[in-house]
Structure 1
């Protein structure tokens, strides 16, 4: 959905802590028991699931969240991150939804992705014909998502298989913009109908099971705001400057309200019988949901407000230009504001259990006290360029970071994250002679229960040997190593560089040449650590010794 500081609580980095481990390496006599590969199992569906951009209450507020709150959000830690699909163009970026233990999102690489919500591992992907910055909607086992190729897709939520697609105009192929028919809005599903809008100015209602067109309404210009559906009415803004209310069954116009500018990118929030929107004239509007009459509008000093509001407990939360606002829902009176380090903010806020979460183009994710605006936690995802909107489900915060350099990640943060790493050293042989090549394998097993992020393995060329070569294998990303030159000696540091799921292994293999004479004891030491807290540090070091024959 085109909606388009450092961490305040931070642990030591793996690279820093591992130095202490290397100073006190002790022998390990433990044997690692065989473990079965963790199989993906769907989580039980919960009313706390965030099924679409607005959430099903059209307020971007999760009233079911009980795990994360004001008291513990400052302890958020990175649970996992996955770089897959984290691409961006000037078109914007999709936001995640999470349903039944699966995270779904679109990417401007043209694909729709499904990740395991617990581990971040990829479950499936589906490739459309062009960019996908639409945020998916999931209902009854089906994922609905739009693409810039001019189609609205329905995919099997378990497999990603295409069930049907609806073309807004003649279909586009390849990297060619699909004219006015591109679908950048996020669909909304209600009562067996999927609603979405397209850049051609049309609002569509389709049979959610078959994709058959039920009705279509044409606004005065392009539509890039996502429809909100409440009480039998579809609310949607258009670049003709109007907010429209349409009969959800027939598409007939019930009313329209003209803002003072020809741009309404903001997707409406609906609560208390009121429609709340931002507009490119810098105003926030509150409209009577039944009649469209203006209840209040306020200008808070921004040139434009294109993000979508969140509404909870009588307060409207919305991003402006370098500012974030909390205003009284009944009057629009300013309650508090928070200054970000960014400019034009298109990320839309999410509210859960007394905390409001926002992404900023300054590259940070913020958690603020919803009552006071006080900063509770922040995480710097990278250089400026965070446009995606956050969601909170069952104690986990999800958000996508991507920038114009097409680098970034899908992130999951939660509290109480642990990953128990277990390291061994296995020599290729126990009988060695001067001049032999010997390979040491350093398998690192993540015993769980959570992902191990950014794992680091540190060792050195054993005394009495010289470096020959090194390689990496395993189920996570292969990673990189810094090492001495051929026939050299010294320290070796290997970075896994991604997330290592529970019950997976990552192995570094070091080959050295024995130069010491017979009778010399050759000792290899190693230590491992990750950015994820480890409850059992005794498993993180290993030593093995051999005697030259």
Structure 2
């Protein structure tokens, strides 16, 4: 069923973020709905960077053992973004052919559902038997995860190139115009929407709060039930990536990585790291992030102090844009130097690498002793 922009506008808050002031509007309430970020169980990597907080860390996951070998490879198109894995299927959007579901064991195509426009860099989210994804023709889709049949669609009125989060029957996502949408996960009915007035990051979510950064150099928290702004603080940099773990908001930008209290937004620490080119992964002790100077850095979670740095092959443009994934004391990521890497998470020692022959701009999913990652001009790879 099509839930068009007109219907969404009728519910939209007249709220814009300008400088240091907010005009706080009223949004449609959805009372009695606790919203929490739940760590999915193995075998699953159901959304970008594993969970709604975008931690990139699966504390209960199982990594591949021994020297990794290529198990399968597909050639269905450009895979510049990242897969989601749930149960026996792997899901991935493409620039030209819509959404694919593959058998995670052997890489065979299970179904392919076309979309109106290209998909990317947004990544699919899988929840309760449904795959959610947006495209460049303004449409947000819900597909049956088993059959690929379309459940519903929602017209957001703008390009959808950010990742979604799903919690307690609601899907949250932002568009290229800076509007945040909350719609029913069951049928796409609009619940509330918020026009921030600025370009914003993808959303991170936990404990009833939605967090994002804006091109107006602010970070903000919304109430997930109402869309009302709970706090918003200026920052002396441009926020690019938001991660939420254990009540701490990690913000990667140009040129800092900083942490803030999720309840009130108080800054805890800030360190200079240069240009951060991907979403950091947060494990129990360390923060892992890539940069355009061709290094993956590991920082102490408590202080931001650098613990180690690993250099990849030189590339004059991008460096590392693949967000790292952490499972069982290993860090996995890809580089613009064409390689996929496995490092020891504590020491940064190189454990394994593989030359795909093309730049790696997607981020890995590590599930059930398999590593899945896509190359920009090649296919989807599975290693085990």
TM-score by length of 1: 0.60
- Cα distance in structure 2, aligned partners of 1:239 and 1:101: 39
Alpha-carbon shift at residue 114 of structure 1 (Å) = 0.4
Q: Determine the structure 1 residue equivalent to 2:383.
A: 413
Secondary structure of 1:95 counterpart = coil
Correspondences of 1:371-410 after superposition (within 5 Å) = 371-383=346-358, 385-402=359-376, 407-410=377-380
* Pairwise CA distance, 1:344: 3.7
Check the 8 A contact 2:48/2:124 in 1, yes or no: yes
Match for residue 296 of structure 1?
269
Say whether the 8 Å CA contact 1:187–1:195 is kept in structure 2: yes
Distance in 2 (alpha carbons) for counterparts of 1:393 and 1:347: 17
C-alpha spacing 1:159/1:122, structure 2 compared with 1 (3 Å)? same
Instruction: Using the TM superposition, give the Cα deviation of residue 67 of structure 1 relative to its aligned residue in structure 2, in angstroms.
Output: 4.5
- Which residue does 1:237 correspond to in 2? 213
C-alpha distance in 2, partners of 1:106/1:242? Answer: 30
- Contact 1:146–1:152 (CA under 8 A) maintained in structure 2: yes
**1:29-428 equivalences in 2 (<5 Å):** 46-56=41-51, 58=53, 59-68=55-64, 72-73=65-66, 75-86=67-78, 93-133=80-120, 134-169=122-157, 181-223=158-200, 225-261=201-237, 263-266=238-241, 268-279=242-253, 281-300=254-273, 302=274, 304-321=275-292, 322-341=294-313, 342=315, 343-383=318-358, 385-402=359-376, 407-414=377-384
Q: Is the 8 A contact 1:264 1:306 kept in 2?
A: no
TM-aligned CA deviation for residue 46 of structure 1: 4.8
Residue of structure 2 equivalent to 1:450: none
Q: Which moves more between the two structures, 234-243 or 154-163?
A: 234-243
SS class of match (1:306):
coil
Inter-partner Cα distance in structure 2 for 1:57 and 1:183: 18
Distance 2:235 2:71 in 1: 43
Q: What RMSD over aligned residues (CA atoms) do the two structures have, in Å?
A: 1.5
* Mapped partners of 1:265, 1:109: distance in 2: 26
Bigger relative contact order (CA 8 A; separation at least 6) = 2
Contact 2:42 2:368 (8 Å CA) reproduced: no
SS at match of 1:64: coil
Helix, strand or coil at the partner of 2:382: strand
Q: CA deviation at 1:61?
A: 0.7
Gaps of 5+ in 1: 1-44, 88-92, 170-180, 415-549
Helix, strand or coil: the match of 1:185? coil
Give the distance between the partners of 1:63 and 1:57, measured in 2 at CA.
Answer: 15
User: When the two structures are aligned, how many residues end up with a matched partner?
Assistant: 339
**Counterpart secondary structure, 2:107:** coil
The offset of 1:259, in angstroms, is 2.9
1:57 is displaced (CA, Å) by 5.7
Between structure 1 and structure 2, the one with the greater Rg is 1
Query: How big is the shift at 1:349?
Result: 0.6
Partner secondary structure for residue 136 of structure 2: coil
Contact 2:42/2:367, CA 8 A, preserved across alignment: no
| Structure 1 position 377, deviation (Å) | 0.5
How far apart are residue 110 of structure 1 and its match?
Answer: 4.5
Contact 1:219 1:240 in 2 (8 A): no
Assess if the C-alpha contact under 8 Å between 2:70 and 2:381 holds in 1. yes
2: distance between equivalents of 1:153 and 1:237? 25
Runs of 4+ in 1 over 3 A off after TM superposition: 45-48
Kept in 2: contact 1:287–1:293 (CA 8 A): yes
Please say if residues 47 and 84 of structure 2, whose CA atoms lie closer than 8 Å, have aligned partners that are also in contact: yes
Task: Find the aligned partners of 2:44 and 2:107 in 1 and give their Cα distance.
Answer: 17
- The alpha-carbon deviation at position 338 of structure 1 amounts to 0.8
Alignment TM-score, normalising by the size of structure 2: 0.85
1-structure distance, mates of 2:382, 2:243: 25
Residue in structure 1 matched with residue 34 of structure 2 by the alignment: none
**Secondary structure at the residue paired with 1:130?**
coil
SS in 2 for 1:200: coil
